[in-house]
Structure 1
């Protein structure tokens, strides 16, 4: 991905009953374009005793993007959204000035049947002038996303613009996120197809970039659009993402992202004092970490 390429390995961390792989932020690379946080969830078995039950927690200064390969999640938030997301659809919540939400296994999956959940939880920082915008929520069904096939590679444009196409997700900056699945070895042509910094997350299989073999569980990042040749092995599953970086640094603490540290300090006090908006009919509360 250029001589300045950086390979980042998933670092496992626990969220309750689940083990997830953290890819961003990384100490040597805090962001890729406007993407500031990427967690790889699962694959995990959903069954009695290990349901997803993430109680009320707040966000500011970012949009969350949830994209599942398998399974379902129920999203509820303080602006009144109540949405079950299924594999291949997109949940896009813009926190802006402040929002609270929960993520749980839907009621119809809380039975004796075991299911699998697998996907990504992603945060996209907002441009400085939009950090305090009003919160929004949008759900885009899988059939509304652009899909195409080239030389044994199957593409889905999840968000933003790329390869001459535009996704219906209402993003707030220049970015791209594309799912790619191959049935045979493919020469991935990126140059002039996407703009900005480039990240490739290998979900399954492997790629070869600039003589480096990158296997599943790793991400490779390039600071240049003129990426070197990327060969994708057969039966490989990728997420290609990135975009144009912001001029200003972003600060991150827990679920808060902001260009000014003072905004994060105010959000911390607001959450401790329980002054954020609430999810209706939900009394859960995840305390601010010390």
Structure 2
């Protein structure tokens, strides 16, 4: 999804400071509200305190948003380069179209992976069957930085239905391994670097261990957690230390996302573009202004202008 606001970023390199003490949480991130044209999201990454967690460079929590009949999300075609987008819904539906010719409704539990590579254009709207009645939308949208060797690969689109995503029970906690490997399960979702994405639903008082990864964080989409002595409130992300055997305990019924993976190093970011090379972003900006990116099949007439 488009950030729809120009957000020039200086080059950044993710700090990887090993904690000297025994704290489980290195940093607590409170999200910022962003208007995406008719509905708002909570933007968690990037922030000035933390740009990435493993390969994850962008993290938005959408909704829960209530739409009246005739209304809904309507994100016009916009471009991406050198990254992969991940869309995961809790409620509602999004209609994905892209310049590869993909046309895919995304429903709760599905995983949508769009690999921008050297460049892709996509739109996110809703089917008339959805917008004709009042409805809700709730979910997460995330971006993965690609390893430098994969930044300019051919664009691709992968859709994984709900039933294809592994479900495991960990200490009685229903858990889904959405990307990567955890709890002796491996997701079929394609990855380009060591990547972790787990969803869990905890009842108050339940605990779950955090899987191993070079870098890890937990986001509380609903409820409240504790990690060691740190309380993690609803709509906050806790960047976790490298302390072994960290456990997360729900102080209220909670839905959480654990994300992480390997550190990929320096990245530049501006608007919808991410790259290890600033000149590549400048090239993409020029190409979008000149409208030489490929068009979205079936959605060729509109586009989001490059913000000035």
TM above 0.5, yes or no, is yes
* 1:186 shift after superposition: 1.9
Does residue 261 in structure 1 map to residue 273 in structure 2?
A: no
Give the corresponding residue for 1:63: 84
Give the corresponding residue for 1:252: 269
* 1:3 shift after superposition: 5.9
CA distance in 1, matches of 2:295, 2:243: 42
Conserved 8 A contact 1:186-1:234: no
Give the corresponding residue for 1:34: 55
CA distance in 1, matches of 2:258, 2:104: 26
* 1:34 shift after superposition: 0.1
Give the corresponding residue for 1:98: 119
Instruction: Select the structure with the greater relative contact order (CA < 8 A; seq sep ≥ 6).
Output: 2
Conserved 8 A contact 1:2-1:227: no
CA distance in 1, matches of 2:256, 2:24: 21
Give the corresponding residue for 2:205: 185
Matched residue of 2:79: which SS?
A: strand
Give the corresponding residue for 1:160: 180
Conserved 8 A contact 2:71-2:131: no
Conserved 8 A contact 1:197-1:225: no
CA distance in 1, matches of 2:282, 2:160: 33
* 1:225 shift after superposition: 5.7
Matched residue of 2:253: which SS?
A: coil
Give the corresponding residue for 1:216: 234
Which of 108, 113, 130 is the equivalent residue of 1:87?
Answer: 108
Matched residue of 2:293: which SS?
A: coil
RMSD over aligned Cα atoms: 1.5
Any idea what the Cα deviations from partners look like across 1:121-149, whole Å, max 9, x if unmatched?
10000000000000000000011100011
Does residue 196 in structure 1 map to residue 217 in structure 2?
A: no
Count of residue pairs brought into register by the alignment: 286
Give the corresponding residue for 2:294: 277
CA distance in 2, matches of 1:95, 1:272: 18
* 1:4 shift after superposition: 6.0
Any idea what the Cα deviations from partners look like across 1:197-242, whole Å, max 9, x if unmatched?
1110001111111211111010100242626443223411100011
* 1:41 shift after superposition: 0.3
1:103-252 equivalence runs, <5 A = 103-111=124-132, 113-190=133-210, 193-224=211-242, 226=244, 228-246=246-264, 248-252=265-269
Any idea what the Cα deviations from partners look like across 1:154-199, whole Å, max 9, x if unmatched?
1011112222221111111101101100134222212xx3322111
Give the corresponding residue for 1:7: 28
Give the corresponding residue for 1:77: 98
Alignment CA distance shift 1:24-1:271 (3 Å): same
Alignment CA distance shift 1:4-1:41 (3 Å): closer
Conserved 8 A contact 1:32-1:198: yes
Matched residue of 1:205: which SS?
A: strand
CA distance in 1, matches of 2:24, 2:209: 18
CA distance in 2, matches of 1:198, 1:109: 36
Spell out structure 1 runs of 4+ moving beyond 6 A.
Answer: none
Matched residue of 2:137: which SS?
A: strand
CA distance in 2, matches of 1:211, 1:225: 13
Matched residue of 2:180: which SS?
A: strand
Matched residue of 1:267: which SS?
A: helix
TM-score, reference length from structure 2: 0.89
Matched residue of 1:50: which SS?
A: coil
